Amino acid sequence: MENKVEKNDRSAFVSKFLRLLKGELGLILILAALMVVFSLMSPYFFTSRNLLNITRQVSITLIVAIGMTFVILTGEIDLSVGSSAALVGVATAAVLNATGSIFLGLIAGLILGVGIGFANGALTVYGRVQSFIVTLAMMGIARGAALVWTGGKPISRLPVDFAIMGAGYLGPVPVSTIIAAGVFILAFFVLNRTKHGVYVKSIGANREAARLSAIPVRKYRVLAFVISGLMSALGGILITSKLLSAQPTAAEGLEMNVIAAVILGGASLSGGIGTVLGTLLGAMVIGVIDNGMNLVGVSSFFQQIVKGVIILVAVLAKRSD
C-alpha cells in the first residue's frame, strides 16, 4: 500500500514536470539557448546595456500582445491593433498640439483606443460577425482615418517632455520598460488572481459551458476587445513619444509580431489556453532574435526568414506529444 502511494507521488511529479516543459519552461530554455548563441557570436550582446535595450525594444510589442492575449483567450482575434495604435498616436499628437496639455493628449488617445475596442467587441458579440472580419475592416478604417486626418504627413514638433514615456530613462532603465512591466504585472494579476481571468479562459474554452456556468459571457467578450483597444492605444502613444512625432503609417505589421508573440507563448488560437507569462517570453524570444541578428550583422532580408523559421520550430516543438 505504502509503496503504491509513493509511486503515485512520483508519477504525479513526472506529469507535473512534463506539463511545465510544454509550458513556460520550454520557452525559457529556448530563450536561454538563443542568448547563449548570440553571446558567443557577439561580445556586446550579453551586456546590461544591451539587455535593457532589448526590453525597451520589446516593450511596445509586449504591451499590445498582452491586450491580444485577452482577446485570443476568449477565442477571438484582433487584427486592428497596429492601425489603432497609429490612429491613437495621431489623435494624441493632434490633441496635444491643440491644447498644449500632455495629459489631455494621453486621455484622448486612451479613450479613442477604448472606443475602437468597444466597437470591435460590440460588432463581434452583438452583431454576430466573426472577429477576424470585424477587426480586418477596423484595420482598414483606422489606418485610413489616420492617413486622412494627417493628409499622410507626420505630426511633429511635439513638446520634448512628451518623449519621456517612449524614449526616457529612469537611471539605467528605460521608462517604456517600466510601463510594460507595470502592464504585465497588472495583467498577470487579473488573469491569475481574479474572477475576470477565470471567466475569460472559460469563455474561450467552451462558450456554451461558460454561459451555463453562469458567466456573463457577452460582457466579458466585449471587455476583452476593450482591453486590447486600450493596450493598442498605449502602444501607439509610446511609439509617438519615442519618435516625438505621430506617423500615420506607424506600427504597420505590428499585429503580426504581436500575434506571433502570443502564439509562441503557448496560447491557442481556438481560445481558452494562454498565459501572459507565455506572452512575455514569446515577445522576448522575438526581441532577442531581432536584436541578436542585428548585432551579429545578419541582413535584414535574411532576418525575416530566420525569425519565421524559429517561430515555426518553437511552436512545433511545443506541440509534439
Partner 1 sequence: MPDIALKLEGIHKSFGGIHALKDVSFELSEGEVHALLGENGAGKSTLIKILTGVHKMDSGIIQVRGKTVTIEDPVDARHKGIGAIYQELSLVDSLTVAENIFLGHEPSTSFFGTVRKKELIRRAAEYLLSFGIKIDPNTLVGDLGLGQKRIVEIIKALSINANILLLDEPTTGMSRAEIDTLFEIMDDLKIKKVNMIYISHHLDEVFRVCDRATVLRDGQNAGTFEIDKVDLKTLVKSMLGRTLKEEFPVREGRSSEETLLGIKEFKTDKMLAPISFSLKKGEILGITGIIGSGKSELALGLFGADRALKGKISIGGREVRLNSPDDAKRHGISFIPEDRKEQGLFLRLNVEHNICVANIDLAIKNGIISSKKKSEIAKETSEKLKVRPLDIKMAVQNLSGGNQQKVVIGKWLCGEPDILILDEPTRGIDIGAKTEIYSLINYLADRGTGILIMSSEFREMSAICDRILVIRKGTIVAELEGKDSSTEQLLTLALGG
Binding site for partner 1 (CB under 8 A): 8, 10-16, 18-19, 192-195, 198-199, 201-202, 205-206, 208-216, 268, 272-273
User: Cβ closer to partner 1: 64 or 73?
Assistant: 73
d(CA 88, CA 102) in angstroms, rounded, equals: 14
Q: Are 274 and 266 in contact (CB under 8 A)?
A: yes
d(CA 17, CA 12) in angstroms, rounded, equals: 9
Helix, strand, or coil (residue 50)? helix
User: Shortest Cβ distance from residue 263 to partner 1 (Å)?
Assistant: 16
d(CA 62, CA 55) in angstroms, rounded, equals: 9
Q: Are 289 and 306 in contact (CB under 8 A)?
A: yes
User: Shortest Cβ distance from residue 39 to partner 1 (Å)?
Assistant: 35
Q: Are 83 and 146 in contact (CB under 8 A)?
A: yes
User: Cβ closer to partner 1: 153 or 195?
Assistant: 195
Q: What is the DSSP letter of 23?
A: I
Q: What is the DSSP letter of 151?
A: T
User: Shortest Cβ distance from residue 262 to partner 1 (Å)?
Assistant: 17
CA angle centred on 35, ends 63 and 29, rounded to 5°: 80
User: Cβ closer to partner 1: 147 or 205?
Assistant: 205
User: Cβ closer to partner 1: 200 or 289?
Assistant: 200
User: Shortest Cβ distance from residue 206 to partner 1 (Å)?
Assistant: 5
User: Shortest Cβ distance from residue 115 to partner 1 (Å)?
Assistant: 26
User: Cβ closer to partner 1: 18 or 98?
Assistant: 18
Q: 116: Cβ–Cβ under 8 A, 6 or more apart, which residues?
A: 80, 84, 87, 88, 138, 142, 229, 232, 233
User: Cβ closer to partner 1: 196 or 307?
Assistant: 196
